[in-house]
């Protein structure tokens, strides 16, 4: 892979992580654990 692909993959990974983190914070996971 070329260095450019490395930057693209890093950007996609960081963007995906940020996207998942935002949605995880919005979803009330604590309520699910409490009900269980």
Q: The pTM is what? A: 0.53
Whether pLDDT at 36 is above 50? no
Residue whose tokens read 């996609």: 12
Whether pLDDT at 12 is above 50? yes
Q: Is the dihedral of CA 2, 4, 8, 10 positive or negative?
A: positive
């Amino acid at each position: 892979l070329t260095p450019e692909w490395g930057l693209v993959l890093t950007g996609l990974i960081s963007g995906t992580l940020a996207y998942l983190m935002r949605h995880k914070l919005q979803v009330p996971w604590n309520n699910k654990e409490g009900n269980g």
